[in-house]
Structure 1
Amino acid sequence: MVVFAHISDIHIGGSDASVARAEGVMAHLATLGLDAIVVTGDVADHALAEEYEVAAGILRAGVPLAVCPGNHDSVPEFEKRIGPANQAVRLDGLTIALADSSVPGRPYGFLADETLAWLDGVLSERPGVPAMVGMHHPPAELGIPYVDEIRLREPERLEALLRAHPNVVAVLAGHAHTGASVRFAGLPVAVAPGVVSTCLTQAETDAAFPVTYDLPPGFALHFFDGERLVTHFRPVILK
């Protein structure tokens, strides 16, 4: 059994509580028996060097950790302090490949040719080992117009790649600031809750900007037994 945590959208600098919320989540994750931690983007809010310096100090763990950029991130600044924009974790029985779906100056996502080529290479390394592909932008609609308008563009490019690699068992994403699940390319998609804030659905609010900072940060806790992915969404109550 592989057990790993999935967090997203810490947005350091995006609110007065952004640092405390991120620190609280990472402290909680350190108490769990995890095999890895993945972070699906929006590490900094304004893509400032000082925000990445703070984030680099927070995103430390005693287990393998992979991070990809989001639309609020600047890849050059990200790579100086966090690491490559495309990162992979290779565990016993599972590969997790996080790809850069950010587009400079744009809120929507897109997987460039070179990024898809990198993904293809990682997925080809261990064709007999199950793999998960992650990125910031969800490849499918989640029923939240505010988010759906800025999801991954041209998702059929990703779908073609996933279908070419039958060892891929799931897709991981962030960006939506809400725990959610959907299917894409015949695979489950797990979207992690936001750390800095929570995005509400149309059933919960009619606000044009449906984001609240009042709910606690959250994370996804994934269990993978070699065939089946089970995901639990958990809040972190800060002290």
Structure 2
Amino acid sequence: MITLVHVSDVHLDGSARSTERVERVVRHISGLPGPIDAVLVTGDIADHGTAEEYETARDLLRFPYPTIICPGNHDSRPEFRKVLLGEAGSGAPVNQVLRLGDATIALCDSSIPGRDDGYLDDETLRWLAEVLESSGAPVLVGMHHQPVPVGIPYVDEIALKEPERLEEVLHAHPQVVGLLVGHVHTAAATTFAGLPVYVAPGVASTALLPQESTAWPPIDFDLPPGFALHVLADGRLTSHARVVL
């Protein structure tokens, strides 16, 4: 059995508010009494993509577990690479893999520089296919953008474009057991390519459904930050959402 913590959309912007919310979540997760095998963070680390925001993220997102992070649409690849990964500031996709015993976590960069919607380019899809071909079961694939609509119109307009390209890769590799994404700022569960898709809660804010609010944008900044816990056992993914008060 493997247990993963899933954090997303921290949107560090230099404010005391964003710093406090991230500190609260990290402190809570780091103090959990049960075994945690890894933490994955699915994008929108910085709010404006500045080096200063990533320096704050580097200092705050310190967990006592292996941690893997991918960019979101608010992130900047060069600054993300330089500050968080200690690499040259390339604009190439930031794709990363974490192996936990027999399990593999593949985080794809679905960001498009300068845009809010998502896309997995040819380089990323080739990388993912290579990771999957070298991995046994089980594999979890993560990214920032959700590949299917979730019923929140303004978020669905900036979802992953041409998801059928990803679907083709997934159909060719049956060892994938689920997809983990962010971007939506609310916990949600759906399916794609015959697989479960879990959307992590947001740390910075919570998106509201049309049934909950007619405001624009439909975002609640007062609800508490959240995260998810995923349990992977016997080839089955079970997910739990939590808030941090």
TM range (shorter): over 0.9
Task: Tell me what 2:109 maps to.
Answer: 100
Task: Tell me what 1:90 maps to.
Answer: 99
Distance 1:168 1:195 in 2: 27
* Displaced runs of 4 or more, over 4 A: none
Q: Does 1:143 align with 2:145?
A: no
Partners of 2:6 and 2:41 within 8 A in 1: yes
Which structure 2 residues correspond to residues 178-193 of structure 1 after superposition, within 5 A?
178-193=186-201
Aligned residues: 236
Amino acid in structure 2 at the alignment position of 1:154: E
Give the root-mean-square deviation of aligned CA atoms.
1.1
Specify which of 215, 221, 226 is matched with residue 234 of structure 2: 226
Secondary structure in 2 matching 1:4: strand
Which structure 2 residues correspond to residues 35-46 of structure 1 after superposition, within 5 A?
35-46=37-48
Task: Tell me what 1:53 maps to.
Answer: 55
Please, which runs of 5 or more residues in structure 2 have no aligned partner? 88-93
1:220–1:17 CA distance, 2 compared to 1 (3 A): same
Identity %: 56
Q: TM-score, normalised by structure 1?
A: 0.96
Please, which runs of 5 or more residues in structure 1 have no aligned partner? none
Secondary structure in 2 matching 1:23: helix
Q: Does 1:62 align with 2:64?
A: yes
Secondary structure in 1 matching 2:224: coil
Task: Tell me what 1:208 maps to.
Answer: 216
Secondary structure in 2 matching 1:57: helix
Amino acid in structure 2 at the alignment position of 1:65: T
Task: Tell me what 1:118 maps to.
Answer: 127
Distance 1:57 1:122 in 2: 30
Task: Tell me what 2:91 maps to.
Answer: none
Q: What is the CA-CA distance between 1:208 and the residue it aligns to? A: 2.7
Which structure 2 residues correspond to residues 75-86 of structure 1 after superposition, within 5 A?
75-83=77-85, 85-86=94-95
Distance 2:133 2:138 in 1: 11
Q: Does 1:27 align with 2:27?
A: yes
Task: Tell me what 2:142 maps to.
Answer: 134
Q: What is the CA-CA distance between 1:15 and the residue it aligns to? A: 5.1
Partners of 2:14 and 2:53 within 8 A in 1: no
Distance 2:103 2:214 in 1: 41
Q: TM-score, normalised by structure 2?
A: 0.94
Q: What is the CA-CA distance between 1:14 and the residue it aligns to? A: 7.0
Amino acid in structure 1 at the alignment position of 2:139: A
Q: What is the CA-CA distance between 1:132 and the residue it aligns to? A: 0.7
Task: Tell me what 2:168 maps to.
Answer: 160
Partners of 2:182 and 2:202 within 8 A in 1: yes
Partners of 1:37 and 1:64 within 8 A in 2: yes
